[in-house]
Structure 1
Amino acid sequence: MNSEKKGINTICTHTGEVEDTQYRGAISPLFMATSYQYDGMDEKRYPRSFNSPNQVALGKKIAALEKCEAGMIFGSGMAAISHCLLAFLKQGDHIILPETLYGGTYNFVVKELPKFGIEFSFAKGFSEIDFTSEIKKNTKIIYIETPSNPLMKITDLEMIGRIAKQHNLLSIIDNTFASPINQTPADFGIDIIIHSATKYMGGHSDISAGAIACSQEHKDKIWETSINMGGHLSDYTVWLLERSLKTMALRVKAQSKNAKKMAKWLEQHQLVSKVYYPGLKSHPDHALAKKQMKRYTGMLSFELLPELDAIEFMRALKLVKYSMSLAGIESTILSPAETSHFLLTKEERKKQGISDGLLRFSVGIEETNDLIFDFEQAFQLVTKKQLV
């Protein structure tokens, strides 16, 4: 059966399996070898070549989920991003990105690309003119992330795909916050889709990985660079990631449902000044998100009233973990200023709209009543402390 005609849970469960031809086991066998016979074989396999049996199979699953021809697995999301950009950019080239970027991506662009003589500029907003006004003769790539981290801004995928094709540019998206369960950018003409597979694909806060999905031609180009940079993932972790992907659709749907409930509850809370979640009708990009997303993400951000101490609030939580990273089955909360955007200066964070009081909430699969109870007791503790 064609992968495009399979249901999403079927793709998650069965596409890209390694067949156990010896014992007929129900799951993919794990091939840990770093040395393979090459004489008389169809391929010269070596883990750093991204072509071990488990890597190849998982690439097929990632590609099917994103409705693309090919996929590759990396050691981290930043490995996927850096390998991809360096595969298509050379000295004298130019890339356009939005101002609101994941801190790691922003830091890589401003700190590393100049070392290669690669130019970059940031679109001042999210409209067509904001991006087209930055296009130069040497522009090669438009890079976006939507929803953005951490302010959940939405970029029009159809618009970006159209602009890129009109100007013969490559379009690249970080699709981590949506996951292929909530959004498939290839449907809108985006060329390359990147994921921090540590997040929703891994889903259990125990795997660090990255992934790309694209055409075979683009994958071959990325491979030419990646084989020289050594950013592959160990086969044991590849195997664990394939196991985790089997339940991704179930997890992400539950997390997205919970996040929408929590966003609505937080929006009505008297101690919350603002909530950033594209599933809310009050979000400025709600109509666009509804148009290009199947449902909304399990991520949201919010700000407490200025007089409340955001750090003390997080410390007061008992069920929700005051913890780094995101998208695990357990709910976590953090301060972007302390973590994901720590490498940016205070001025750079302010320019992106990231205040010290902004909190990013990764909603898990717990019962929302339990999450609300935890938030309420934390609010009470913080307000009592504030009054003392």
Structure 2
Amino acid sequence: MAEGYKMAEDSQPKLTGFGSKAVHSGTNHVGDAVNTPIFQSSTYKLTDERYAGWAAGAHHALLYTRITSVNAEAVIEKICSLEGAEDGEVFSSGMAAISSTLMALLSSGDHVVASADVYGGTYGLMTEEFPRFGIEVTMADMTDVNSYEAAIQANTKVLYIETLTNPVLKVCDVEAMATLAKKHGLICIIDNTFTSPWGCNPLSLGADLVIHSTTKYLGGHSDIIGGAVVGSREHIENIFHRKVHFGGSADPNSCFLLERGMRTLHVRMPKICANAAELAKRLENHPMIERVNHPTLESHPQYEVAQRIMPKGTGM
């Protein structure tokens, strides 16, 4: 956490429950404010301590808002707390998070295995942009671990998966995919947007990195665009440099709204998921509906996997 704008570590409350973490973790009480104030500033004072930290490689140094900001640090800490991550970064969009993460881990000549049902923006990045940089992509069936393993090559570096696909709601066996990645020495990246940290914690299932479009459940009010990635400090430090170089940083006001949204995540998600499950059930029983594809229904092809990986359901 950036120095100079945070309570002493020993004065921070010890948070255990998901709701407590959603409400309190990361909040910067500077000036005794209940909420983190908006630090609408492009730059910070270049103190000797900050400059020394930056020179030593500290990527949470408060120098320039493209690097980080007080508001960005607050939401990073909150998302890390909810996902059980060591470190993280926030971005100006979900695609900024995805592209910065993948470009940090892949170079010309590398190969990535991704889901054939991957989100359209990610699909465009992989099929239109990656070939220009000499990065190969193979699309496989995310619901079949054997399909992914068959696609692995000598130059494969990353397995890219979504907990729940957008928009057809296929469910990934995250634990099995993470085990496969470890077997072959690969990095397992999970887009956890459609389940949220409330519904699934891929890091606890063995994933290396978790990505979110914070535009969706985390923001919760359809008034921001944002993204995030969390994982080990080693991976995040690498991704941080791509964020700074590519410029996909989150602005303080969006971070403020994101922090506000995450405070009610534990209240919103149970109702959202209950409504979706009830709607799916009623539609499935409607005589004019041929098929409903929702992971809470026993008719869903990956129902058993969903019950194990994301038993709380989803609002999608």
- TM-score under structure 1 length normalisation: 0.74
What percent identity do the matched residue pairs reach? 39
- Does residue 9 of structure 2 align to residue 10 of structure 1? no
- What is the identity, as a one-letter code, of the residue corresponding to 1:26? V
The separation in 2 between residues aligned to 1:281 and 1:290, in whole angstroms, is 10
Cα deviations by residue, 1:305-350 (Å, 9 ceiling, x for unpaired): xxxxxxxxxxxxxxxxxxxxxxxxxxxxxxxxxxxxxxxxxxxxxx
User: Structure 1 runs of 4+ off > 4 angstroms?
Assistant: 1-5
Match of 2:112 among 95, 103, 117: 95
Q: Partner of 1:232 in structure 2?
A: 249
- Secondary structure, counterpart of 1:47 in structure 2: coil
- 1:141 alignment partner, SS class: strand
Report the AA paired with residue 32 of structure 1: Q
Counterparts of 1:81 and 1:298, CA distance in 2: 22
Query: Within 2, Cα distance between the matches of 1:168 and 1:283?
Result: 32
Match of 1:289 in 2: 306
Q: Which residue of 2 aligns with 1:73?
A: 90
Q: How far did residue 4 of structure 1 move?
A: 9.0
Number of the residue aligned with 1:128 = 145
Aligned amino acid, residue 67 of structure 1: G
Q: Secondary structure at the match of 2:137?
A: strand
The equivalent of 1:166 in structure 2 is: 183
Aligned-pair Cα RMSD in Å: 1.5
**Counterpart selection for 1:19 from 29, 32, 48:** 29
Can you list the C-alpha shifts for 1:15-70, whole angstroms capped at 9, x where unaligned?
A: 011122x3x12111111111211123333521111x21111121011111111111
1:304 equivalent in structure 2: none
In the alignment, the residues of structure 2 paired with residue 98 and residue 212 of structure 1 have an alpha-carbon distance, to the nearest angstrom, of 19
- Aligned residue for 2:193, secondary structure, equals coil
Does the 8 Å CA contact 2:118/2:162 hold for their aligned counterparts? yes
Equivalent residue runs for 1:264-303 within 5 Å: 264-299=281-316
Residue equivalent to 1:193: 210
Contact 2:142 2:172 in 1 (8 A): no
More contact order relative to length (CA 8 Å, sep ≥ 6) = 2
Q: Deviations over 1:110-147 (max 9, x none)?
A: 00000100000011452221011011110000000121
Per-residue Cα deviation, 1:217-237 (whole angstroms, up to 9, x for no partner): 110010121110000111011
SS of 1:272's equivalent?
A: coil
- Describe the SS at the equivalent of 2:292: strand
How far residue 165 of structure 1 moved from its aligned partner, in angstroms, is: 0.8
In structure 1, how many angstroms separate the alpha carbons of the residues matched to 2:15 and 2:136?
A: 42
Change (3 A) 1:9 1:110: same
**1:75 touches 1:233 (CA, 8 Å); kept in 2?**
yes
Contact 1:146 1:152 in 2 (8 A): no
What TM-score comes out, normalization by structure 2 length? 0.91
1:103 offset after TM fit, Å?
Answer: 0.9
Alignment-derived partner of residue 40 in structure 2:
32
Could you tell me whether the CA contact under 8 Å between 2:36 and 2:74 is conserved in 1?
A: no
C-alpha contact 2:142 2:161 (8 A) present in aligned 1: no
Structure 2: which amino acid aligns with 1:14? H
Aligned to 2:55: none
Greater Rg, structure 1 or structure 2?
1
* 1:202-221 correspondence to structure 2 within 5 Å: 202-221=219-238
| 1: CA distance, partners of 2:47 / 2:166 | 47
The verdict on how the C-alpha distance between 1:187 and 1:3 changes in structure 2, with shifts beyond 3 A counting, is farther
Do the aligned residues in 1 keep the contact of 2:171 with 2:306 (CA within 8 Å)? yes
CA shift digits 1:164-190 (9 cap, x unpaired): 111110000110000001011011100
Residue type of the alignment partner of 2:276? A
The residue identity in structure 1 corresponding to 2:64 is Y
- 2:81 is equivalent to residue 64 of structure 1: yes
Q: Find the aligned partners of 1:80 and 1:4 in 2 and give their Cα distance.
A: 29
Residue 187 of structure 2 is aligned to residue 177 of structure 1? no
Tell me the SS of whatever aligns to 1:228.
helix
After superposition, where does 1:214-363 map in structure 2 within 5 Å?
A: 214-299=231-316
Cα separation, 2, equivalents of 1:3 and 1:279: 36
Unaligned runs of 5+ in 1: 300-388
Match of 1:48 in 2: 66
* SS of structure 2 residue aligned to 1:97: strand
Find the residue that maps to 2:63 and give its secondary structure. Answer: coil
Identify if the C-alpha distance between structure 1 residues 44 and 182 changes in structure 2 by more than 3 Å, giving closer, same or farther: closer
Change (3 A) 1:16 1:233: same
User: For 1:199 and 1:149, how far apart are their aligned partners in 2?
Assistant: 12
How far is 1:5 from its partner? 5.7
Counterpart code for 2:65: P
Paired residue secondary structure (2:113): strand
Q: Aligned partners of 2:294 and 2:305: how far apart in 1?
A: 13
Query: What is the CA distance between 1:98 and its match in structure 2?
Result: 1.1
Helix, strand or coil at the partner of 1:211: strand
Corresponding residue for residue 357 of structure 1: none
Deviation larger for 69-78 or 118-127: 118-127
* 1:335-368 Cα deviation digits (max 9, x unpaired): xxxxxxxxxxxxxxxxxxxxxxxxxxxxxxxxxx
Paired with 2:144 and 2:14, the residues of 1 have a C-alpha distance of: 32
